[in-house]
Amino acid sequence: MHQREGVTDWMNIKKRWLVLFLLPATAVFILVYAIPVSMLTATSLTDWIVASTPHFNGIDNYIRLFHDPQFISAIKNTLLWMLLQSTLHISIGVIAALILARKKFYWKFVRTVYMFPNIISSAAIGMLFVMLFNPSFGFVNQFLAAIGIENAPNWFANSKTAFGAVTITWLPFAATVTILVMAEMTSIDGAILEAARVDGATEFQMDVYIVLPMMKNIIGTTAILGATSMLQKLDIILMTTNGGPGDLTLNMPLYVYKTAFTAKQFGLANASGVVMILMGLVAVGLINRIYGIGKKEC
Amino acid sequence: MKVKKIITKSCIFVFILLIIIISVGPLLWVLLASFKTNREILNGGVGLPEVFSFKNYSDALKLAPILQFYINSILAGVGSTLANVFFLSMAAYVIARFQWKGKKFFRMIFSLGLLIPGAALLQPLYQTMTTLKLHDSLIGLSLVYIALGLPTTIYVMSSFFMTIPIELEESAYLDGAGFFRTFASIILPLTKPALGTAAVLEFLLAWNEFQFALTLTASNAKRTLPIALYYFKSQFASNYGAMFAATIMVVIPSIAVYILLQEQVVSGLSSGAVKG
Amino acid sequence: MKLKSIVAWSLAGVICLNLIGCSDGKNKETQSAVREDQTAENDFPAPVELSISTFRVGTHSAAVAEARYFKEFQEYYNGVDRQKITLKVEEMPSDEEYYNQMKIRAASNTLPDVFEGKDGVLELAVENGIAVDMSKYVNADEQYKKELGESTIAFGSDWEDGGLYNISYGLQAIGYFYNKEMFDKAGISPAKTWDEWTSNLEALKASDACKAPLSMMTGENGWTTNLILASIIGTSEEAGNRFMNTRYVDTYQTPEVMDAFSQIQEMLQEYSLPDAVGSDYATAANHFLNEDTAIIANGPWMTPDFSDPDKAAEGFDQKVGVALFPKNGAIYQLERGYSIAKSTKEKEDAAFKFIQFKTNAYGQTIHLEEAGVLPLTSDIQMSEDYKQNNPHVAELVELLDTIEYKYQTIDTISYPTAISSLGTLYPQLVDGSLTAEELVRLLDDAAAKDASYKNE
């Protein structure tokens, strides 16, 4: 629809510019990602402990990891959260974008305000939820008691509700998805929508059959961003449940953190980090395939 | 038909209402808490403070070098945002719009950044920066922030670049414009909404980031705002009131920047709807 | 493609740089130190710059004392009457972040010259030879040795090779605080046995004097709960007491420990507020200060809160009493204290001077008066003024002579991985999904994960 497959003179000759344009990104990437990740991977094959000299021990760390029930739990929880985020979270954000794009009187206000929770530091958000969900004096339980539900659970500490409570601290806050989708919506040719309107299509029909398909790329992108953000959720879990009860809310970043800083096993922690990166790569590849991102169509 | 419309409208109403509540709620709570005493906060009220006192704010300024950190946060935030958005949209541009060998490879490795656990990066990055004599320097920190926002910016910008019709470059070339000029004066202005969005995301990242800031800076002369928040929390003596006051002081500039950049995006939204 | 080779070469280049930098870290300092020595003109050693990190900033109770130390130390070692030593202070707000950073530094062999090695850092530093044995310094100064006291030196030398690797700065003695008014209303007095302790809790519950008898918590490091846990184990005869005085216990699966956990389980289920599970320290403390609960186990640093209008109602401090645990048990342990990182001789010498400044008689006095940290020996006495202003601390100190069972905290005797996992296991103990037996088994599993765990 937007791009042609044809290759022209213009495209071919500016190789020099290609390299130049890529250089800053590549340099920064090497410095901050490539080097540390190679150090990471190299030390994941050693028995490195804080302050000791590392000795090569092959894939011992990896074998050890997969024998650790907590590690398995961490993988399960992370995958579940990635799934929830790339489906529910994205949906909320996309629906909000579609609604706000209709530009009813409230749209600027809502779109500004929705981002607020993302602007506040996660330390403050964590504290807020801890207080909100406090079983003795928190707002949620007091509200429930007022409408007749006594004995509401201790949300973050109860084995049944902990996972859900933690999920709520980030799932509904999809403002990033919304602003990204809305930004991409500006590229839609107004003429197409006009034509559809003239043909009698409702707003809902236009959203579902015209807008959404055109947003496939950006939605796929936000799905990737959302799913991979689950590989960075650490602060908020530390503040609310610290991975508990037991390992019910333990995810991979937290596992890496605990192995590195509590257990001081840097080699082992790096191995778990490598597993996490591989997991992420598979997820990204999968989402890419599902959404067919980057494929040009007409 | 009418019933269907009423149901849809009420669903939308409830949905938007919920969004407003969960968005404004937290900030309002923090704002009110910043005027309450510690006792009030820990006793969990959601209402207005008994006394509207600015004590928390003065305490916060006394307990932590907030003003000093402000300057550093602004430098690192603005610096990394400008550099990130400008240089990385260049990379996104060539990835999105041109065919060349290794394009897929670069695309893949750039998304690597999203997958690496921050906790595992701390030590290697600390070592790298120390070796390069970039420890305790805002430049080193900004480089890290540019990199942390790299995947997002490249994703967002390349996604947007792909929506621009190919004919634009061709016609520019035919008109005699060079590669860079085409990029800077023709393509880039069309992507204002995406630029604004990418800038917002990068700025917020740099503004709120804590772990790397703590690890890669040492002296108060280079420290940034998120570190200030931890001055109010020690094992046995936390001053939540002051912490929330400091949170408000940290949040206000980022909200201002967000609203400012949003204007950019919105202007793109209302005007740039027609292409070609 | 050309770009790829550029990438590959730059990668190789910077990795090389890194490897060089890694090993080069400390060597560079030797060279510059030698140069410094040669240019020293007066009798004292050449000027030195010490790096030190501290978490005693912001709201920390010892923040003011700490700042005072830094200032006075540099005024003392000003280059005029003595060597010039400047301090390069790095502030690390919050103790947890401090220990995390120390681990990163230790892993890159860039520990600050003076550091505190809690959380397993010192264990690893000693094991890998990057901590300095301070016995040579201490033995050369009889006066200082006396001011430290024998137990301090014994405590700091409790290492495999007997070297003195850490010098403590103060004593931790902990009992519990209780609300005298509530106790009166329930008709009880501080328990002398653990049976009486339980019946006290029952009486408090029945009397309606408080919302719940105990201020417990399982979040963070479960501090107040674990103090009671430590006391139950520590007062249960020989075996228990020995357990609670071992550095890094290998197993929790002993009858005393399991029984103690069952008792704690009951206390969390029956005699605490619903938010005790998952609660952090601030909330637990607030419940006591707000007169929701009658008892809180905690140390003397809490006492200023009793008369802080921001934290407690007017006159609350009058209602607070201090007591030892049943069977006259109390937490009685030295703080881990300071260590020196291996470096150049000049820096190590200067580092010791700093530690000495902080832990000699003068240092201990400041610590007591300004931060409420108990001194290392009984040579340091509280001034009358101090006793007037801190009646609860004075009361606690008087009780110290009557202690029959001394033991350490759960944090001190446990591998850090075990303590961290305990916080997440408590909720399951309380809601019944775990029994005490199962819990201690899981604790053992967690302990085995620690880098310092010795599985002989």
Per CB-CB distance under 8 Å, the chain A contacts of C283 are 134
pLDDT of residue C33 exceeding 90: no
My answer on whether C319 and C207 are in the same domain is yes
* pLDDT band (50, 70, 90) for residue A205: confident
Pairing verdict, β C114-116 and C338-340: antiparallel
My answer on whether C249 and C341 are in the same domain is no
The arithmetic mean of pLDDT across residues A134-149, rounded, is: 88
* Cα B117 from Cα C432, distance rounded (Å): 34
Chain C residue closest to B130 (CA)? C21
pLDDT of residue A51 exceeding 80: yes
Nearest Cβ partner for B160 among A24, A184, A252 = A184
Residue A1 domain flag: no
My answer on whether C306 and C215 are in the same domain is yes
Q: CB–CB of B160/A187 below 8 Å?
A: yes
My answer on whether C322 and C351 are in the same domain is no
* Cα C283 from Cα A134, distance rounded (Å): 10
What residues make up the domain containing B197? 54-271
Nearest Cβ partner for C281 among B63, B214, B236 = B236
CA distance to A155, A173, C93, C431, per residue, from C274 (Å): 11, 29, 31, 11
Chain C residue closest to A134 (CA)? C275
In angstroms, how far is CA C362 from the centroid of its own chain?
Answer: 21
Among C160, C278, C157, residue whose Cα is nearest residue C225: C278
pLDDT of residue B226 exceeding 70: yes
- Summarised one tens digit per residue, pLDDT across range A262-292 is 999 999 999 999 999 999 999 999 998 998 7
What confidence score (pLDDT) does residue C276 get?
94
Nearest Cβ partner for B116 among A3, A15, A37 = A37
What confidence score (pLDDT) does residue B113 get?
87
* pLDDT band (50, 70, 90) for residue A9: low
Name the domain count of chain A. Answer: 1
pLDDT of residue B275 exceeding 50: no
Per CB-CB distance under 8 Å, the chain A contacts of B21 are none
- Summarised one tens digit per residue, pLDDT across range C61-74 is 899 999 999 999 99
Q: Which of C121, C275, C450 to mutate to test the interface with A (most CBs of A within 10 A)?
A: C275
CB atoms within 10 A of CB A218: 28
Is the Cβ of A10 closer than 8 Å to some Cβ of chain C? Answer: no
* Cα A285 from Cα B120, distance rounded (Å): 23
CA distance to B64, C253, C307, per residue, from C63 (Å): 11, 40, 19
In angstroms, how far is CA C7 from the centroid of its own chain?
Answer: 48
CB atoms within 10 A of CB B9: 10
Nearest Cβ partner for A50 among C107, C277, C434 = C107
My answer on whether C273 and C410 are in the same domain is yes
Chain C nearest C-alpha distance from B122 (Å)? 8
User: Which chains contact A through at least 3 pairs of Cβ atoms less than 8 Å apart?
Assistant: B, C
CB atoms within 10 A of CB A217: 21
CB atoms within 10 A of CB A152: 18
Tokens of A76: 């399960």
My answer on whether C121 and C214 are in the same domain is no
Phi, psi of A43 (to 5 degrees): -75, -15
Task: Supply the CATH number for residue C194's domain.
Answer: 3.40.190.10
Which are the contacts of A211, defined by CB distance < 8 A and separation ≥ 6?
A98, A101, A185, A188, A193
Among A155, A125, A126, residue whose Cα is nearest residue A140: A155
State which of C372, C399, C424 marks the end of a domain: C372
* Cα B92 from Cα B162, distance rounded (Å): 10
What confidence score (pLDDT) does residue C456 get?
40
First to last CA, chain C: 55
Residue A54 domain flag: yes
DSSP H/E element including C176: strand C171-179
Q: Which of B99, B115, B170 to mutate to test the interface with A (most CBs of A within 10 A)?
A: B115
* Cα C225 from Cα C218, distance rounded (Å): 7
* Cα C273 from Cα C292, distance rounded (Å): 9
The arithmetic mean of pLDDT across residues C210-214, rounded, is: 95
* Cα C391 from Cα C372, distance rounded (Å): 12
Provide the whole-model pTM.
Answer: 0.90
What's the alpha-carbon Rg for chain C, to the nearest Å?
24
Phi, psi of C431 (to 5 degrees): -85, 10
Q: Give residue for tokens 């003011």.
A: C64
Task: Supply the CATH number for residue B239's domain.
Answer: 1.10.3720.10
Is the Cβ of B99 closer than 8 Å to some Cβ of chain C? Answer: no
Residue C14 domain flag: no
**Peptide bond just before B124 cis, omega within 30 deg:** no
Q: CB–CB of A173/A236 below 8 Å?
A: no
Q: Give residue for tokens 């996104």.
A: B92
Highest mean pLDDT: which range of A71-75, B106-110, B152-156: A71-75
Name the domain count of chain C. Answer: 2
CA-based max dimension of chain B: 71
What confidence score (pLDDT) does residue B166 get?
81
My answer on whether C251 and C343 are in the same domain is no
Q: Give the DSSP letter of residue C46.
A: P
CB–CB contacts below 8 A, A to C: 129
Q: Which of B225, B236, B240 to mutate to test the interface with C (most CBs of C within 10 A)?
A: B236
Among B200, B156, B227, residue whose Cα is nearest residue A119: B200
My answer on whether C315 and C402 are in the same domain is yes
Residue A3 domain flag: no
Chain B nearest C-alpha distance from A154 (Å)? 15
Per CB-CB distance under 8 Å, the chain A contacts of C127 are 51-52
The arithmetic mean of pLDDT across residues C140-161, rounded, is: 94
Among C338, C161, C245, C145, residue whose Cα is nearest residue C153: C145
Pairing verdict, β C212-214 and C293-298: parallel
Name the domain count of chain B. Answer: 1
Nearest Cβ partner for C417 among A52, A135, A263 = A263
State which of C372, C400, C430 marks the end of a domain: C372
Per CB-CB distance under 8 Å, the chain C contacts of A241 are 278, 424
My answer on whether C231 and C282 are in the same domain is yes
Residue A296 domain flag: no
Burial class (CB in 10 A: 0-12, 13-18, 19+), A298: exposed
Residue B14 domain flag: no
Residue C100 domain flag: yes
Q: Tell me the torsion sign for CA atoms C19, C21, C22, C23.
A: positive
Residue B245 domain flag: yes
The arithmetic mean of pLDDT across residues C139-158, rounded, is: 94
What confidence score (pLDDT) does residue A204 get?
83
Is the Cβ of B219 closer than 8 Å to some Cβ of chain C? Answer: yes
CA-based max dimension of chain A: 74
- Summarised one tens digit per residue, pLDDT across range B135-163 is 999 999 999 999 999 999 998 898 888 88
What confidence score (pLDDT) does residue A73 get?
96
* Cα C273 from Cα C294, distance rounded (Å): 11
Residue C308 domain flag: yes
* Cα B245 from Cα B32, distance rounded (Å): 9
Q: What is the ipTM of this complex?
A: 0.88
Task: Write down the mean pLDDT value for chain C.
Answer: 89
User: Which chains contact C through at least 3 pairs of Cβ atoms less than 8 Å apart?
Assistant: A, B
- Summarised one tens digit per residue, pLDDT across range C279-294 is 999 999 999 999 999 9
Chain A nearest C-alpha distance from C424 (Å)? 4
Phi, psi of C214 (to 5 degrees): -110, 145
First to last CA, chain A: 3
Alpha-carbon torsion angle B218, B222, B227, B233, nearest 10: 60
Task: Supply the CATH number for residue A119's domain.
Answer: 1.10.3720.10
What confidence score (pLDDT) does residue C42 get?
59
Which residues are C49's β-sheet partners? C86
Alpha-carbon torsion angle B178, B183, B185, B191, nearest 10: 160
Which residues are C87's β-sheet partners? C50
Chain A nearest C-alpha distance from B237 (Å)? 16
What confidence score (pLDDT) does residue B50 get?
85
Is the Cβ of B144 closer than 8 Å to some Cβ of chain A? Answer: yes
Residue contact A2–B100, C-beta within 8 A: no
My answer on whether C140 and C188 are in the same domain is no
Residue contact B94–A21, C-beta within 8 A: yes
**DSSP code per residue over C312-367:** S-TTHHHHEEEEPBGGGEEEEEE---EEEBS--HHHHHHHHHHHHHHHSHHHHHHH
What residues make up the domain containing A195? 9-291
Chain A nearest C-alpha distance from B73 (Å)? 14
CA distance to A262, C423, C424, per residue, from C222 (Å): 16, 6, 10
Alpha carbons within 13 A on the beta-carbon side of C285: 22
Among A69, A92, A88, residue whose Cα is nearest residue A80: A88
Q: CB–CB of C98/C56 below 8 Å?
A: no
Per CB-CB distance under 8 Å, the chain B contacts of A106 are 16
What residues make up the domain containing C255? 173-333+389-447
Is the Cβ of A56 closer than 8 Å to some Cβ of chain B? Answer: no
| In C375-452, alpha helices (H) | 384-389, 391-400, 410-413, 416-430, 436-447
What confidence score (pLDDT) does residue B61 get?
94
Residue contact A108–B266, C-beta within 8 A: yes
Residue B190 domain flag: yes
The angle at the Cα of C228, spanning C200 to C99, to the nearest 5 degrees, equals 155
